[in-house]
A and B are shown apart, each in its own frame.
Chain A
Amino acid sequence: MYYMTELATDPRPAGVPNADPAIAVSGLRMRYGTHDVLHGVDFRVERGEVVTLLGPNGAGKTTIIEILEGFRTRSAGEVLVLGKDPEHGDEAWRSGIGIVLQSWRDHAKWRVRELLTHLGEFYAPFSTAERPRPWPVDDLMELVGLAPLALQRISSLSGGQRRRLDVAIGIIGRPDLLFLDEPTAGFDPEARRGFHDLVHRLSDLESTTILLTTHDLDEAEKLADRILILAAGRIVADGSGDELARSVSTRAEVRWSVAGERFVHETADATDFVRQLLLGGEGPIADLEVRRATLEDTYMTLVRRDESAGPTRMEDRS
């Protein structure tokens, strides 16, 4: 009965497949000259999901994101983003997409509020009753912690402040779908925490679909509903952090100590092993710990497995 009510109030809960995904990719290939970077990538992102694309440098993460953004022409495959092929996405399509770019020295002479106001204006014609656009600039600056810097020239911002501005620019149009390519590179732990709160907020309150790339496994696990692991141009794993860990290994490590002596045992059924252990009468058991494979273990296993089998990788960034 509870299940029924939930369905009734939220007919399209995040992550449940439906006919209208935010992103649908099948058989995506990318070739630079004679070198293949992507060899048939397939995945979907449902509306409202937060999905992380993980992978080693040169695996093709940035290439995938740029193809989805409509900035790069793919070699083959089917790609739909918000219902359209990004290669033929028109400007109205673009208004629903937010992109967090890594800024360098663009708009150096502009002041923070000035630039946000200017870039926000592009989205005003695409405002709807459910999604008023653009985001009010002062609220947005407050949200990302730039309010005290509103009148600063962008050239005078620190690296972390610039990244916050990049995020603000990415979401000024209240996008339905947001792309973040390594958003927290160069963030200190506090800024990182603030950014994670922001992602949760966008996902929960704005129901923004988010696709991000990162190197930070901890971050991937914290933010994402689902993790895709890309290695050597293919998606080698797709699931929640927990699911991925189970897919690689169902074994767990049990550690304990008896009278100061430490023991380690690996087992497929940790629950049963611990029950036996406690009932076993070997004396008082202390420091009991059951440890499953972490996302990091999983990641290393998957990427290594693929590296040993896969072709050489090197992303052409031309």
Chain B
Amino acid sequence: MSLTVNAIRIGVARGWTMFRHLMTTADGLGNTVFWNGVPLGYLILNRNTEIEGVPFSLATLALPGLIGLAITASAYGPAYYIAAEREDGTLLRTKAAPYGIVAYVTGVLVMATLETMVSVLVLLVPGIILFDGLVLPDAIGWLMLVAVTVLALMATLPIGVIIGSVVKSPRLIGGVGLLVIGGMTILSGIFIPLQAFPGWLQVVAQAFPPYWAAMGMRSVFLPDAVVAGEIGQSWRTLEMFGVLGAWALVGALVAPVVLRRMARRATGSSVEANRQQALQRM
């Protein structure tokens, strides 16, 4: 077995352990329930809200988009973990082991993916049970669901790795990260159709993954009649794969370079300096 493959295997186990810790500690579980409860609560409150020209509720219309958004929000995971774990010495600890950084990053990505899957299931399972009008995917629909999910993860997780590697402090991720996610939510076209924005903003929104991930999910779960509400009256499947694929490609090329640069700078004294700063903040 190649040593890198072995490190990836260790990393997958690491990610699973971290995920288990998240689900079995009070603060981890609390965060998960809260962040997934907000969108689900929004949908349940709107399960009877009717929209003009659509034969089903706002909840049904918004659900697929929210699933897409939840997948692209997975970038938050690596951004936060890498920034926080560089500061607290977790990254340095793994860096001291042979092939440690490979396993470390694998662990972070696996954990973020598992967290995202929880978010998707929390929306999808009650949604299918509670809301009318969702199309249950056929074989091709399921394939499409998997393809959009995987591609959207590949498009956004590297963004999280890059952000986590370049920011100075994890506290920045808390503030700026939420702003970015908020902005992306508005621009995702889930709550406000993109056509309602000025032209330049439509172009901006269509340059980023959330809009396309949301639309990909709509194409899986909504009846074709709704496509009339989309730009160009089409699901634009090719464009979706194109934009998400381009982000995935750029991320795969840039993220490892940025990560390696950051990891090289992690030392015992940088962790100690962070610790001293943290003590002063208290």
Which residues of A are interface residues toward B (Cβ below 8 A)? 62-63, 65-66, 69, 71-72, 91-92, 94-95, 97, 99, 101-110, 114, 118-119, 121-123, 125-126, 169, 173, 181, 317-318
8 further A-B pairs in the complex, CB-CB below 8 A; given A108-B88, A109-B18, A109-B25? A92-B98, A94-B97, A101-B89, A101-B92, A104-B274, A106-B90, A122-B7, A122-B98
Cross-chain contact A102 with B98 (CB below 8 angstroms)? no
Shortest beta-carbon distance, A117 to chain B, in Å?
A: 10
**Looking across the interface, which residue of chain A has its beta carbon closest to that of B90?**
A106
Q: B21 near A: Cβ within 8 Å?
A: yes
Shortest beta-carbon distance, B236 to chain A, in Å?
A: 43
Residues of B within 8 A of A99 (CB): 96
Partner of B3, one of A109, A125, A181: A125
CA distance A95 to B85 in the complex (A): 22
Residues of B within 8 A of A91 (CB): 3, 98-99
Interface positions, chain B 223-261, Cβ under 8 Å from A, are none
**Looking across the interface, which residue of chain A has its beta carbon closest to that of B269?**
A317
Partner of A107, one of B93, B98, B103, B275: B93
Residues of A within 8 A of B270 (CB): 317-318
Q: A91-B3, A122-B10, A123-B97 are in contact. Are A101 and B268 (CB under 8 A)?
A: yes
22 contacts between A and B (CB under 8 A): A69-B96, A71-B266, A71-B267, A91-B99, A97-B96, A99-B96, A101-B89, A101-B271, A102-B268, A104-B89, A104-B274, A106-B85, A107-B90, A118-B14, A118-B17, A119-B94, A121-B10, A122-B103, A123-B97, A125-B3, A169-B93, A317-B269
CA distance A13 to B63 in the complex (A): 72
Most chain A CB atoms below 10 A, which of B13, B17, B103, B270? B17
CA distance A94 to B96 in the complex (A): 7
Q: B100 near A: Cβ within 8 Å?
A: yes
CA distance A217 to B108 in the complex (A): 42
Cross-chain contact A119 with B89 (CB below 8 angstroms)? no
Q: B50 near A: Cβ within 8 Å?
A: no
Q: B28 near A: Cβ within 8 Å?
A: yes
Shortest beta-carbon distance, B164 to chain A, in Å?
A: 16
Residues of A within 8 A of B268 (CB): 62, 65-66, 71, 101-102, 181
Q: A101-B92, A107-B93, A317-B269 are in contact. Are A118 and B275 (CB under 8 A)?
A: no
Partner of B271, one of A63, A72, A94, A104: A104
Interface size of B by CB at 8 A reads: 36
Interface positions, chain B 133-189, Cβ under 8 Å from A, are none
CA distance A102 to B93 in the complex (A): 10
Most chain A CB atoms below 10 A, which of B94, B96, B273? B96
Shortest beta-carbon distance, B15 to chain A, in Å?
A: 11
Most chain B CB atoms below 10 A, which of A91, A99, A181, A318? A91
Residues of B within 8 A of A122 (CB): 7, 10, 97-100, 103
Most chain A CB atoms below 10 A, which of B3, B13, B267? B267
Cross-chain contact B272 with A102 (CB below 8 angstroms)? yes
Shortest beta-carbon distance, A167 to chain B, in Å?
A: 13
Residues of A within 8 A of B92 (CB): 101, 106
Shortest beta-carbon distance, B31 to chain A, in Å?
A: 13
Residues of B within 8 A of A101 (CB): 89, 92-93, 96, 268, 271
Shortest beta-carbon distance, A114 to chain B, in Å?
A: 7
